[in-house]
Amino acid sequence: KAGVTQTPRYLIKTRGQQVTLSCSPISGHRSVSWYQQTPGQGLQFLFEYFSETQRNKGNFPGRFSGRQFSNSRSEMNVSTLELGDSALYLCASSWTSDGADTQYFGPGTRLTVL
Amino acid sequence: AQSVAQPEDQVNVAEGNPLTVKCTYSVSGNPYLFWYVQYPNRGLQFLLKYITGDNLVKGSYGFEAEFNKSQTSFHLKKPSALVSDSALYFCAVSAISGGYNKLIFGAGTRLAVHP
């Protein structure tokens, strides 16, 4: 079974631009979560989607948004990019939205904001 | 508030020796605890988790972890380290708020296994 895939793997943007990242979960998984990883802040939860509904959201500004489609694929969008948004963005999928369920991570999208 | 602490930034071990990567947690209620490993330029790979039951959990690649409720710890162990085990290790707790999926991670511990 194919793992979680994320596209693109690398992105370079300039301040003020917007960006859309894509995540395809493991087949059958209905929950998709997004995390930001930076050297300074570590791994931080962005949001979780289950059955096209945002179930939970972390402490990030409204510039960070996401959505989930009926096939469980998910996208996250960052508008008005800032230098501090440079990070590795990780997507994870699981069967359910139960906290005991294992989340499986994709390889990430490395975003560089210049 | 729920939190995870990994007190060591780096652990150095000689190949063939046992290794321990430490993790302590703070949660209200019963915790769901996870260990993940990250290799350079890769995502996180799941190693093992504790949900309930036996305090000793066995996982992938010969790793195991011991849940200790009284010490609120969940240390990762391996009897004999390999050079290929060198990576960044993360302990995480699942935030049990309405049963939603939200992992709270520790800062990570870099494991260096020397030949």
pLDDT tens digits along A54-70: 988 999 999 999 999 99
- Token pair listed for B50: 């504790």
For residue A106, give the amino acid letter: G
Q: How far apart are CA A106 and CA A32, in angstroms?
A: 11
- CA distances from residue A110 to A104, B43, B87 in whole angstroms, order as listed: 18, 11, 19
CB contact under 8 A, B34 and A106: no
pLDDT above 70 (res B98): no
Q: What is the pLDDT of residue B41?
A: 80
Q: What is the pLDDT of residue B20?
A: 98
Would you give the end-to-end CA distance of chain A in angstroms? 37
To the nearest whole Å, the CA of B48 is away from the closest chain A CA by: 9
pLDDT above 70 (res A102): yes
Q: What is the pLDDT of residue B96?
A: 63
To the nearest whole Å, the CA of A15 is away from the closest chain B CA by: 24
In degrees, rounded to 5, the angle at the alpha carbon of residue B86 between the alpha carbons of residues B83 and B92 is 145
Per-residue pLDDT, averaged over B88-111, amounts to: 86
